[in-house]
Amino acid sequence: MPAVTNRPINRKVVLVAHVTRMVGPEHFRIEEEPAREPGEGEVVVKTDTLSIDAFIRTSLNDEEGLHQQVPVGAAIVALGVGRVVESNAPGWDVGDAVSGPLCAQTYATLPTAMLQKIDPARPLSTYLGALGLTTGLTAYMGIRFVGEVKAGETVLVSGAAGAVGCMAAQIAKVLGARVIGLAGGSEKSAFLTGTLGLDGAIDYKGEDVDKRLKALAPDGIDVFFDNVGGELLDIALDNIRERGRVVICGAISQYNDQKHVRGPSLYLRLAERHARMEGFTVMHFAQHYGEAFAQLGQWLAEGRLTMPEQLEHGIDAFPGALRKLFEGGNIGKMLVKP
């Protein structure tokens, strides 16, 4: 018989087998155990909300990929927000709101060095979406410092109805650019031109992207903010203007088969048009976190940015929510509330 404990029970999503293609229920199982007692300098956090990010998929391969790999038997990596329910760290009190790498579980025992205190006056999920490292901050760094978007320029964003894309498109609009979004399906196109107020939208699943892009931007595009890669990257390269910039934020179309990543075949357009292509991760711009955070917070308060949230409920919903990112099943930020 298991020992009786009065500790809170942690339910966590554990990796059962590495993933070679699409994630499915067969790759995960739920385990229960008492939440570990906090050591010196540690706290126990009760998870409020988890961020469903594309990078989670790239951490589930059987070999080194873009990110550190999750070992079989370990909890799935995930960023989250929550409240301290037990503290063994001076200055960290029960009730404090925090964000950090909580993993896909209902309670996390972590050193405070891995956590950040957040303002409980805002909905905590804001720190995963509009003000989140992997969402708002990523979009800000890519648009400002890699794409160097200027007023009057034409910007194309792929994955524009998703979390990063939706923020990148809106930030480019706030900076005075003309913005066209690429997304799958007519509902998402309507979201881009309606809710987000973009200047144009292309349904890459139902329309001839090159033809539509040439109609919407006959003089070409100055900046392509790419979340998707593959064929769409080639079409954008073909339409890039003199001195244009291609921002490689991600390539979600390639994450399910990273041994056979499709690279761009039209990269010589960069030479022809004195254009450049530059990749980045948000972590390369750590020196700008403070600025990005303050600026995004101000634009949010002014109502110039919006971040729709798609909430899935229960820790058991985590694997299905992750899969939805790869099937286009989300608009805005995908979150799980365990």
By beta-carbon proximity to ligand NAP, the closer residue of 30 and 66 is 66
Q: How far is the CB of 41 from ligand NAP (least distance, A)?
A: 29
The answer to whether the beta carbons of residues 79 and 59 sit under 8 Å apart is no
**CA 73 → CA 14, 29, 31, 169, distances in Å?**
6, 9, 10, 38
Q: How far is the CB of 34 from ligand NAP (least distance, A)?
A: 32
By beta-carbon proximity to ligand NAP, the closer residue of 16 and 22 is 22
Binding site for ligand NAP (CB under 6 A): 53-55, 134, 138, 159, 161-165, 183-184, 188, 227-228, 249-253, 280-282, 325-326, 328, 330, 334
By beta-carbon proximity to ligand NAP, the closer residue of 32 and 257 is 257
By beta-carbon proximity to ligand NAP, the closer residue of 100 and 162 is 162
Task: Quote the tokens at residue 286.
Answer: 């750590």
By beta-carbon proximity to ligand NAP, the closer residue of 77 and 183 is 183
By beta-carbon proximity to ligand NAP, the closer residue of 53 and 222 is 53
Cα-to-chain-centroid distance, residue 2: 39
**Residues contacting 135, CB < 8 A, separation 6+:** 51, 128, 129, 163, 164, 167, 307, 333
The answer to whether the beta carbons of residues 142 and 120 sit under 8 Å apart is no
Q: How far is the CB of 38 from ligand NAP (least distance, A)?
A: 30
Q: How far is the CB of 135 from ligand NAP (least distance, A)?
A: 6
CA–CA separation, 299 vs 174, rounded Å? 9
Strands, E, within 52-106: which ranges? 80-87, 97-100
What's the length of the chain? 338
By beta-carbon proximity to ligand NAP, the closer residue of 98 and 182 is 182
Q: How far is the CB of 162 from ligand NAP (least distance, A)?
A: 2
> Within 13 A of 198's CA, how many CA atoms are on the CB side?
32
Q: How far is the CB of 1 from ligand NAP (least distance, A)?
A: 43
Q: How far is the CB of 113 from ligand NAP (least distance, A)?
A: 22
- Secondary structure class of 100 (helix, strand, coil): strand
DSSP secondary structure of 155-224? EEESSTTBHHHHHHHHHHHHTT-EEEEEESSHHHHHHHHTTS--SEEEETTTS-HHHHHHHH-TT-EEEE
CA–CA separation, 96 vs 252, rounded Å? 35
Q: How far is the CB of 234 from ligand NAP (least distance, A)?
A: 13
Query: Cβ-closest residue to ligand NAP?
Result: 162
By beta-carbon proximity to ligand NAP, the closer residue of 202 and 221 is 202
> Within 13 A of 56's CA, how many CA atoms are on the CB side?
34
Give the residue carrying structure tokens 């357009």.
269
